[in-house]
Each structure stands twice: as structure tokens, then as C-alpha cells.
A and B are shown apart, each in its own frame.
Chain A
Amino acid sequence: MPNWIRKVVGFLLLYSALLITACEGVGSAF
């Protein structure tokens, strides 16, 4: 896998998971 694809996929995976967690995670009811 070329390095840039790896970076893009990694970035999306990491930050989308963080975003999802942050939106619906702890305290989202407030």
C-alpha cells in the first residue's frame, strides 16, 4: 500500500472514530 493512501485511510479512521465518539459520547445528552 503506498504510504499516502495509508496515511489518508489512517487519518480518516482515527479522526472519524474520534468525531463519532465525541458527538454521541459522554455528555452528549447535555
Chain B
Amino acid sequence: MPSEKQYNSASAYKVDKDEQKIKLPLLTGSLLLIFAFKYLATSFFALGRGESFYFLTSALIFSMVIASFLLLRHGTAVEIIYNRSKYAKHSKIPYKTMGAVLLSTASILSAYLGSYSFFASLMLGISILVGWYMYYGFDPYADKIEGYESDKSAQRIMTLLTGANEDITAILGYAKEMNSSTIAPLMKEMALEFQKIVKHIEDEPDDYDKARKYLVSYLGELRDMSETFTKLDANDKRKDVEVDFEETLREGINKLKQQYEKLMDDDILDLDIKLSVMKKRFKNEE
């Protein structure tokens, strides 16, 4: 199965990194292949009989059914990401719906060229569309951005979080490659601290502005530094900068911890205010 990154439109807002691979049910849409095979066989028979028109139409219908099968599988994979993500942008290309329309058109063509009237063929096509809608469903058509002020702010914040998550994954990757036993755990710790902040923003997008500086400039710079240091480490030239880098990392971790606590304190303050207001209101009721 392809990785999630290939499904850009659905993963544009992707922030949930728990699942790296999409596991599609193996049999999704596989019955369609039986029908596709039938049309393939028909086209061979037609070829054997020298019926070039039927050969071409059967081959066309065969490819339409195969395309519909592929669209269904791709669309389902995109939908799985969409359903799993807390926030997601709907796919711009309606894969499943396109698959349904294609299959329905192929069937209308097949029925009409066979022994059905136009009306009967149309009815068969419509039942396929309706059946598809009920069984497989069409694509999700709305963005999942609950809790955000607007589409634009969601986009802005999600872009930031997706970028931050990428940086964090990169830093964790560098930490794994690292030979230095002092720097590697520090880098890992720092990445985990950043992750805590990202998680917090996911839950409370309103705090975005407070954490922006950390997630944009600091994280990016630390990623670059980690990359450079990993290169030096691989060439055994790390000695000169190791102490400085270690200090920077320790300081960074402390600052991140403080920042995270500050974000949490703000929540406490917020709740405190709400509680006192509520108490006053109750008092006034007496």
C-alpha cells in the first residue's frame, strides 16, 4: 500500500501521525474484477469471430470497469485518512464518485449494445449509481475543521502543524542515526517536547499565536542544526561543536518545558476566571 503522503488532498490537514500506512481491506471492490474479466473474455471472443466493433466496445467497457475499481480503492484509501484524522480537508478529486459514474456509464453502454432497450439500460445504470451510493458511498464533501474560526485560520494552523510534525519526525530520524550518546537522547527529548506543544495546539487552536514562534522559527532552526550535526557526526568531526550543541539543546528543552507550562497555566487562568464568574452568577441567583 502507498504511504499517506501520496494522498495529498486528504492529508493536507493531516496532523495525526499515529498511522503511517493505510491498510485497505484486501477485498474492497474485488467483485468488480470478475465483471471486468467477463468483458475481457467477451472482447477475446469477439476478436476470434472477427467482430471488431464488439471487440472494441468490450475492451472499452473492460477498461472502464478496471478504472472504476482503481478509483474505488484509491478513493476508499483517501476516505480512511479523512475519517481517521481529527482535522482533514476533503479530497478535491472525487475518486469514488468518478468510479461510480464510470461504472454506471459502462453498464449502460453494455446493456444498450446487448439486448436491452435504452430505457432499461438507463434504469440499470441508475441502480448501479444508487447501489454504489448505499454500499460504498460517495466521497466526503466537507472539510473537518471543527473548533476553528474559519476555513482560512484552519488552513493556516494546519499548515503550521503539518510542517512542525514533519520537522519533529526529521529530528527523531536524525537522533536515531546519531552515534553520539549524549546528543541523541537530548534531541529525542526536544522533539518530544515540541510534540507536546503541537498536541496542545491541535486540541486548542486558539493558543496558536502563543506557540507560533516556537513551532516556526525555533523548530526549523533546530532541525537544520540537527541535520548539520548529524552530518558532522557521520564524519567523526563532531568534537568541536558537541559541547555547544549540547548546551543549546538543554537550554531549548528547558525553554520548551516553560512554554508548555505557560500554555497550561493560561488554561488554568482561563478556567479560574470562568469559575469565579459562575460563582458570582450563582450568588446573584440566591
Spell out A's residues near B (CB within 8 Å).
Answer: 6-7, 9-22, 24-28, 30
Contact = CB atoms under 8 A, between A and B. Distances in A.
A13 B134 contact: yes
B56 to A, nearest CB: 10
A7 B135 contact: yes
Label chain B's interface by main secondary structure. helix
A15 B42 contact: no
A29 B285 CA distance: 85
Nearest to B135: A10
Interface of B: 31-32, 35, 38-39, 42-43, 45-46, 49, 51, 54, 57-58, 61, 103, 107, 109-111, 113-116, 124-125, 127-128, 130-136
Contacts of B131: 9-15, 17
Given A18-B107, A25-B107, 20 more contacts: A6-B134, A10-B131, A11-B131, A14-B132, A14-B136, A17-B124, A18-B128, A22-B35, A22-B39, A22-B110, A25-B110, A26-B111, A26-B114, A27-B46, A27-B54, A27-B58, A28-B115, A30-B42, A30-B49, A30-B51
B70 to A, nearest CB: 17
Contacts of B39: 22, 26-27
Contacts, number: 93
Closest 4 CB pairs of A and B: A10-B134, A14-B131, A10-B135, A13-B131
B42 A24 contact: no
Contact of A10 (B103, B113, B133): B133
B54 A26 contact: yes
A21 B124 contact: yes
Contacts of B111: 20-21, 24-26
A25 B116 CA distance: 7
A27 B45 contact: yes
A8 to B, nearest CB: 9
Contacts of B124: 17, 20-21
A28 B28 CA distance: 27
B107 A26 contact: no
A12 B135 CA distance: 9
Nearest to A5: B134
A26 B121 CA distance: 11
Contacts of B58: 26-27
Given A27-B114, A28-B115, A7 B107 contact: no
12 contacts: A6-B134, A9-B134, A10-B130, A10-B135, A17-B124, A18-B128, A19-B35, A21-B114, A22-B110, A24-B114, A26-B109, A30-B51
Given A14-B127, A14-B135, A17-B128, A24 B107 contact: no
Contact of B114 (A10, A13, A25): A25
